[in-house]
Amino acid sequence: MTALTVTTPEHVEIRLEPAGAGSRFLAVLLDFFITTGAAAVIQRISLLMLPKAIAGALFITVSFLLAWGWHVWFEVKSQGQTPGKRALSLRVVDARGLPLSVHQALVRNIVRVVDFAPMFYGVGAAASMLDPLRRRLGDIVAGTLVIREAKPPAYRGELAAERRFNTLRTPRVMRLIRHRIGLEERELLLTVCLRADRLEPVARYDLMEELAAAYRQRLLDLDEELAESERLADLGRREMLQAEREALLAELARAVGLGGRTRSAGSATERARVNVQRRIKDAVARISASATPS
């Protein structure tokens, strides 16, 4: 089975493990038993309280709503997990690793009719066997992926203790950091981090990508200067540039908050997103003007 590696705008690689056909089938089977059982219970109660014709109509209506709304509701409201998927530690996500959108949930579940044919997901099973990411037709059309959630490793105190000493926190390196990342830039990064949780996932992704693009260019410039110093055999300049590059990466990692922490998505207004993007564009222009090699 091919694993999918997604690189976030903060240059953090996240490994997504596609769920196998067996676990997906068990999850669908569990959801099927739950919805069928709920419809049967409602039918039994309605037959005791209502006329047979009305009870039959109510049963058909409830069965239709459960068949079409069960997966869409839970995948949107429960972060891509129906009760069956939650029981088997599965989750539906966007192809970029982002949370599922309403449009994607609707599309993948409409195409479920085709995947269900000719008998209980025959087409879907065949498609998942042929696709390297184990996607059925609904996932391919909607641009989604069913992944297996990895269990978080047990916390060990020594891991936190290892981070207390930072070899880059020397007076010389800190001066280099201040040279490359000024106070305004650090305030900008802090503002972005504080507002990121209040943005929609897609808007946050685009925002971080735009911010990261400027720093990727700066790192490329440093790499070019390093290559030039190596060609000229200027060891002193090479050492300084190397320390400067490591300091820049360390400061960005500390400011942006790398480490794979899960961020919960909340509601945000378009005005907040536009204001942050405007500040980023202004800061990028200042960075380009101040970081020109002398």
Which regions of the chain does DSSP assign to beta strands (E)? Answer: 4-7, 13-18, 90-94, 144-148
Averaged confidence pLDDT in the chain: 77
Does residue 271 share a domain with residue 191?
yes
Full strand arrangement of the beta sheet holding 144-148: 4-7, 13-18, 144-148, 90-94
Does residue 178 share a domain with residue 104?
no
Does residue 140 share a domain with residue 195?
no
At residue 200, does pLDDT exceed 50?
yes
Q: Looking at the DSSP assignment, which residues form a beta bridge with residue 18?
A: 147
- Per-residue pLDDT at 86: 93
Q: What 3-state DSSP class applies to 232?
A: coil
Which domain-ending residue is among 106, 127, 148? 148
pLDDT digits (tens, 9 = 90+) for 68-86: 899 999 999 998 999 999 9
> Which residues span the domain enclosing 281?
157-290
- Per-residue pLDDT at 168: 52
As a whole number of angstroms, the distance between CA 196 and CA 191 comes to 8
As a whole number of angstroms, the distance between CA 250 and CA 243 comes to 10
The count of domains in the chain is 2
* Counts of helices then strands in the chain (DSSP H, E): 13, 4
Does residue 138 share a domain with residue 251?
no
- Per-residue pLDDT at 182: 63
As a whole number of angstroms, the distance between CA 229 and CA 226 comes to 5
Does residue 118 share a domain with residue 169?
no
Which domain-ending residue is among 148, 174, 206? 148
